[in-house]
Amino acid sequence: MISKFLQIGQLNLHCLEGPQHGPTLLLMHGLTANAHAFDGLIDAGLTRFCHLISVDLRGRGLSDAHDSEYSMAEHAKDIIGLMDALHIPQIILGGHSFGALLSFYLAAHFPERFSKLILMDAGLSMHPNTKEMLAPTLSRLEQTYPSFDFYLDKARKAPYNNPWYTEMESYYRADVKDVGNGHVQPRSQLMHMIEAVTGALGEPWKEYITKIEHPALLLHGPEDYTLGAPLLPKENALETVALLKKGTYVQVPGNHQTMLYGPGAKSIVAAIQHFIEKESSN
């Protein structure tokens, strides 16, 4: 994957781009994540059959951060600007968690720019205790850690990273910046993430989802995330697919996080390949 920086308005946006063969797929990561969130899918063979672009959303990874402006509309403007900068008129769009919600938003507001949707573990509504379930991952923000190894060890022990896969390490390396004396800090800022999730909660998701006419694949990791439950209950995932005009549901091994690695990643890659080939032949 090649690292690229693109000037989108006042924002310097970072992305990773794979070999340019096959249909182009743009993937967007979860709330506090970064473009390396999909390294497990790459290791499982995703770039064998598609031209992958994975973006650091504003305020995450190596992309610029603003003091505010983390609404869905601002995120969407960045993605359309990225496509324009790369001279891509239409693309297969996908994302995980927050990135999947952003996919719903973009498909509803800019339908002509997208051919298909690939949605990973997000739906019309998540578990009713989502805020509490996300507390462990949000708690890592705005802290200083004595070393990257110390930070990585905490990540290995997190309940949502069970089992741990070695492919996760590149994601956590990209998650932090060095601040001197070997210390590291997460790149995402808590106030930005709170603004992003608060804005997302206020969007009329049912209105957006029901107007989407693109073929859409929803990939679901049903295993426990935290608090003894999945972040997206199966009934919520199926409800979302039923609202989509051309929705397909596929369950894969793992929870909200681990589905992106190991057996879950292999299942996701196989499902994406089948979905793209099937829809392209229709």
Share of the chain above pLDDT 90, in %: 89
**CA-to-CA distance for 175 and 171, rounded, in angstroms?**
6
Residue 68 reports pLDDT greater than 90 = no
Number of domains in the chain: 1
Structural domain contains residue 140: no
Q: What pTM was estimated for this model as a whole?
A: 0.95
User: Over the stretch 147-203, which tens digit does the pLDDT of each residue have?
Assistant: 999 999 999 999 999 999 999 999 999 999 999 999 999 999 999 999 999 999 899
Give the pLDDT confidence of 88-127 residue by residue, as tens digits: 999 999 999 999 999 999 999 999 999 999 999 999 999 9
Mean pLDDT of 53-71: 93
> Any idea what the CATH number is for the domain that residue 114 is in?
3.40.50.1820
pLDDT digits (tens, 9 = 90+) for 9-38: 889 999 999 999 899 999 999 999 999 999
Q: Is 226 helix (H, G, I), strand (E, B) or coil?
A: strand
Q: Provide the pLDDT for residue 282.
A: 66
In a domain, 89, yes or no: yes
Residue 255 resides in a domain: yes
* Segments forming the whole domain that contains residue 124: 2-129+192-281
**Residue 34 falls inside a structural domain:** yes
Alpha-helix runs per DSSP H in 32-147:
39-43, 72-85, 98-109, 130-138
CA dihedral 27, 33, 36, 40 (to 10 degrees): -80
- Whether residue 113 lies inside any domain: the answer is yes
**Nearest partner of 109 among 248, 211, 197, judged by Cα:** 211
Q: How many CB atoms lie within 10 A of CB 89?
A: 8
Residue 166 falls inside a structural domain? no
Q: Is 262 inside any structural domain?
A: yes
